[in-house]
Chains A and B, each alone.
Chain A
Amino acid sequence: MNIPIEYYLILSALMFIAGTIGVIIRRNAIVVFMCIELMLNSANLTLVTFSSYLGNAIGQVFVFFVMSVAAAEAAIGLAIIIMVFRNKLTVNIDEINLFKW
C-alpha cells in the first residue's frame, strides 16, 4: 500500500502550523517549549519523507542530528525554566519580560 507523499507533507505542515500557533498564543513556557519540539518534529517528518522518496539516506542522518540538538536544547531550556520558576514563582512568559526597555 502506497501512501502518497503529499499526505506526509500536509501532515507535517499541519504539525508545523499547530506548533507555530502554540508558540505564539500559549502563555505557559512549558507548553511553548513543547510546541517548539512539535515544530522541530514536523521538520524531521519532512526530512524523513523526502529521504525515503528520493532514496537518499542523508535526510535520515539529518534527523538524528536534529534530535540530538533538540535533546540538548530541551535539557538547557528546561533547566532555564526551572530557574526562572524558582526566582519568579511563575512560568507565565507574559510576566517574564526582563528585557523590557
Chain B
Amino acid sequence: MINLIYLTVLLPLLGFLINGLFGSKIKNEKIIGIIGSSTVGIAFLISLGAFIETLSLPVESRSNVVSLFTWLNVANLNIKFAYLVDQLSLVMALVVTGVGFLIHVYSIGYMHGDKGFWRFFAYLNLFIFAMMNLILGDNFLVLFLGWEGVGLCSYLLIGFWYDRKFEKGTVAEAAKKAFIVNRIGDFGFLLGMFLIYQTFDSLNFAEVFSKVPNYPVGDIVFTLIALFLFIGATGKSAQIPLFVWLPDAMAGPTPVSALIHAATMVTAGVYMVARSSIIFVSAPTVMLIIAIVGLATAFFAATVGLVQNDIKKVLAYSTVSQLGYMFLALGVGAFSSGIFHVMTHAFFKALLFLGAGSIIHAMHEKQDIQHYGGLKKYMPKTYITFLIATFAIAGVPGLSGFFSKDEILWNAYSNGGMLFWVIGVLTAMLTAFYMVRLVSLTFFGKERFDKSHVHPHESPNVMTIPLIVLAILSVLGGYIGIPALFSGNGGNKFEVWLHPIFENANLRVLHYGSHSHLEEIILMVTSVILALSSMYFAYHVYTKNRSIAENISKSFNSLYQLLLDKYRIDEFYEFIIVKPIKNISEKVLWKFTDNKIIDGFVNSAASLVDSTSSLTRKLQNGLTQFYAILMLLGISAVLFWIIIKI
C-alpha cells in the first residue's frame, strides 16, 4: 500500500477533474457527491493500508520514499517529485483524508440544492489534492506546491458564495483578504526556502536535515531560515500577526470552515514546523519566539471568543486559540504533543463546525447565538455530539482534548516555565468558558428565536452520521496518546510512534531539569479543576442568570467593547498598513511614477517623433509632378556622379 500512496493524491485530483469539467452537465447531486466523497474515502483507505503496512515494518525502515518522476533538473538543482511516507506524514494523511471524507459526506446534505453544488465538490477535492501534496511531499518544493494549492482552494471556497454580503463587506472581499494575508506569509516561506537551498544545496528533506548538524546550534543561518519559515507558518496557521484572515474566512460555507479553516489547512504551519523541527531547534531564539507567539495568540483569541455572538466567529477564534496551543507546544520543543493536538483538534473542531452547520441549517442561516436557545429538544443528535466536542475542547478528563492539551501544558511547564503554564491554563479556562457559553445560549434556556418563522429540526442522516463518527473520534482519539503517567511502561504510544521523526531534533533541544510525576499530577488536577469550575460558572451565568453577564459587561464596558471589536486589530492594520499602501499607490506610484515618469517617457518619445515628422512630412505634398522632379534630380545626380567617377 505504501507504493500506492500516490493514489491518495491522484484520486482527489481525478474527482476534481470529473466534477470540475463535467459537474455542470451531470446535475445529479447524488452522483457528484458520491464521486467527490468516494475519491477521498478511497484515499483514506489507501492511507490506512499504508499505515498498517508501516506499522508492521521495523522502526528503522518506517520512513519510505515513493519517487514518481524528476520534476526539475537544472544545473545542480535536481528536484524529484517524490512522496515521503513516514510516521508524521501518515498521521497527517489519515487525519486529512479521514476527516476530509466525513466532511465530504456531510456536505452532500449541507450543500443540497445549492446552485454551485458541483463547483463545491470540485474545489473540495482540489483542496484534498493540494493538502496531500503538502503533507506527503519529500522536499520543500513539493510542500510549497501543496502550500500554495491549499491557499488557492481556501480562497476559492471562502469566496464560494461570492455574490453574498458578509458583515461590512462582501464574501469576495473576505476571500481576497485571506489570500493576500496568506501571500505575505508565503513570501516568508519562499525566502526561507531560498536560504535553505543556498545553505544546504538541496531542498530534499533528508539531505537538508542530514546537513544540519554541520552547523552549531544558534547559528545565524538557522535563525534566519527558522524565522522566515515561521512567518510562513503564521500566515497559513493564523498566528499573530497574520491571524486576521481566519475569522473572515467564516464567510465560506460551514463544511469549508470545518475542513480547511479548522481541521486541516490551518495546521499546515504546525506540520511544516514539526517536519523541519531540526532546523527550528537549532535556532533557540526562534523557538522562544514561536512559544511566545503561540501563547499570545492562544490567549488573545480566547478573550475575543468570550464575547462574540456569531456562532462561527466564536469557533473561528477558538481555532486561532487552539492553533496557538499547538505553536506553544512546538516552541517548547514538544513536537509530538503539537501534532497530537493537531489530530485531536481536527476531530473535535471539525465536529463543532459541522454541528454549527447543522444548527445554522435548522435556524434558517441565522448565525447569531443571541437568537438561539432551547434547541436541545429539537436537535438531539446535534446537541449530544456538540456537547461531546465542547467537553473535548474544554479539557474534560477522559476526552481527547484533555490528553493533548494537558500534555502541551505539562511540556510548557517543564520546558518553558511557570509563566507559560499559568497563561496556558488561563487560556484553557477561557476556552472552557466561551464554549459552554456557546452551548448554553444555543441549546439551553428560553427559545429566543421567532417561532412563527423558524421551525428548528434535526438534520438528515447524511449530516448527522459524520457528526456521530467525529464524536466517537473526539472521545476515543485521545487514548492513543495517554501520557506515560497513566499508561505505565510503554509510555505515550503516539509519542513513541513519532519518536524517530523528532529524535534528532530532541537531541539538540535544551531540556530543563527533570520533573517528578507528582508535579505533573498536581498541575493536571489544578488545570482540570479550574477548567471545570469555569465551565460550571459559564453554565450558571448563561443558562440561569444572564444578568450577571450583563452586569459584568456593563461595568467593564470599554473592555467589553474592545473585545467585541476584536481588539480593533483589523482597524489597526487598515490604518497602519492598508491605508498607507493605498495612499502610496495612488499618490506616488500612480499619480507620479506611472503618470509622470513612465507615461512621460513614452509620451515624450512619441512627441519627439511627432515634431520631427512634422518637418519632413511637408515633402509629402501629394503632387505627383513634384515627386517626378525630385526623381529627375535624383537620377541626374546619380548619373552625374557616375560620369565623374569614370
Interface string of B592-631 (1 = CB under 8 A from A): 0000000000000000000000000110111111001100
CB distance from A96 to the nearest CB of B (A): 7
Q: Which residues in chain A, 59-101, are within 8 Å of chain B measured between CB atoms?
A: 93-94, 96-101
State whether B625 touches A100 (Cβ < 8 A). Answer: no
Nearest B residue to A23, CB-CB:
B628
State whether A100 touches B632 (Cβ < 8 A). Answer: no
State whether B624 touches A93 (Cβ < 8 A). Answer: yes
State whether B620 touches A100 (Cβ < 8 A). Answer: yes
The residues of B that contact A1 with a CB separation of less than 8 Å are: none
The residues of B that contact A98 with a CB separation of less than 8 Å are: 622
Q: With A and B bound together, what is the CA distance between A100 and B622 in angstroms? A: 4
B interface secondary structure, majority: helix
State whether B632 touches A97 (Cβ < 8 A). Answer: no
The residues of A that contact B622 with a CB separation of less than 8 Å are: 97-101
The residues of A that contact B620 with a CB separation of less than 8 Å are: 99-101
Q: Which residues in chain A, 17-51, are within 8 Å of chain B measured between CB atoms?
A: 20, 23-25, 32
Nearest B residue to A100, CB-CB:
B622
State whether A97 touches B618 (Cβ < 8 A). Answer: no
State whether A94 touches B629 (Cβ < 8 A). Answer: no
CB distance from B609 to the nearest CB of A (A): 14
State whether B621 touches A100 (Cβ < 8 A). Answer: yes
A interface secondary structure, majority: loop
State whether A101 touches B632 (Cβ < 8 A). Answer: no
Nearest A residue to B623, CB-CB:
A97
State whether B624 touches A96 (Cβ < 8 A). Answer: yes
Q: Which of B617, B618, B629 contacts A24 (CB 8 A)?
A: B629
Q: With A and B bound together, what is the CA distance between A101 and B293 in angstroms? A: 72
Q: With A and B bound together, what is the CA distance between A94 and B628 in angstroms? A: 13
Q: Which residues in chain B, 620-646, are within 8 Å of chain A measured between CB atoms?
A: 620-625, 628-629, 632
Nearest A residue to B621, CB-CB:
A100
Q: With A and B bound together, what is the CA distance between A97 and B625 in angstroms? A: 10
Q: With A and B bound together, what is the CA distance between A94 and B627 in angstroms? A: 12
The residues of A that contact B632 with a CB separation of less than 8 Å are: 20, 24
State whether B618 touches A23 (Cβ < 8 A). Answer: no
Q: With A and B bound together, what is the CA distance between A99 and B626 in angstroms? A: 13
CB distance from A93 to the nearest CB of B (A): 5
Nearest B residue to A99, CB-CB:
B622
Q: With A and B bound together, what is the CA distance between A99 and B416 in angstroms? A: 87
Nearest A residue to B618, CB-CB:
A101
The residues of B that contact A32 with a CB separation of less than 8 Å are: 624-625
State whether A24 touches B628 (Cβ < 8 A). Answer: yes
A25 with B624: in contact, given A20-B632, A101-B618 (CB under 8 Å)? no
Q: With A and B bound together, what is the CA distance between A24 and B624 in angstroms? A: 9
Q: With A and B bound together, what is the CA distance between A98 and B622 in angstroms? A: 6
State whether A24 touches B621 (Cβ < 8 A). Answer: no
A94 with B623: in contact, given A20-B632, A23-B628, A24-B629 (CB under 8 Å)? yes
State whether B621 touches A97 (Cβ < 8 A). Answer: yes
Q: With A and B bound together, what is the CA distance between A42 and B503 in angstroms? A: 105
The residues of A that contact B629 with a CB separation of less than 8 Å are: 24
Q: With A and B bound together, what is the CA distance between A100 and B617 in angstroms? A: 9
CB distance from B307 to the nearest CB of A (A): 76
Q: With A and B bound together, what is the CA distance between A96 and B620 in angstroms? A: 13
The residues of B that contact A97 with a CB separation of less than 8 Å are: 621-624
CB distance from A23 to the nearest CB of B (A): 5
Nearest B residue to A93, CB-CB:
B624
Nearest A residue to B619, CB-CB:
A101
CB distance from B51 to the nearest CB of A (A): 81
The residues of B that contact A20 with a CB separation of less than 8 Å are: 632
Nearest B residue to A27, CB-CB:
B625
Nearest A residue to B627, CB-CB:
A99
State whether B625 touches A93 (Cβ < 8 A). Answer: yes
Cβ contacts A to B, 10 pairs, < 8 Å: A20-B632, A23-B625, A23-B628, A24-B625, A24-B632, A32-B625, A99-B622, A100-B621, A101-B618, A101-B622
Measured CB to CB, the residues of A under 8 A from B are 20, 23-25, 32, 93-94, 96-101
| Additional pairs, 13, CB under 8 Å, beyond known A94-B623, A101-B620 | A24-B625, A24-B632, A93-B624, A93-B625, A97-B621, A97-B622, A97-B624, A99-B622, A100-B620, A100-B621, A101-B617, A101-B618, A101-B621
4 nearest A-B residue pairs (beta carbon)? A97-B622, A100-B622, A101-B617, A101-B620
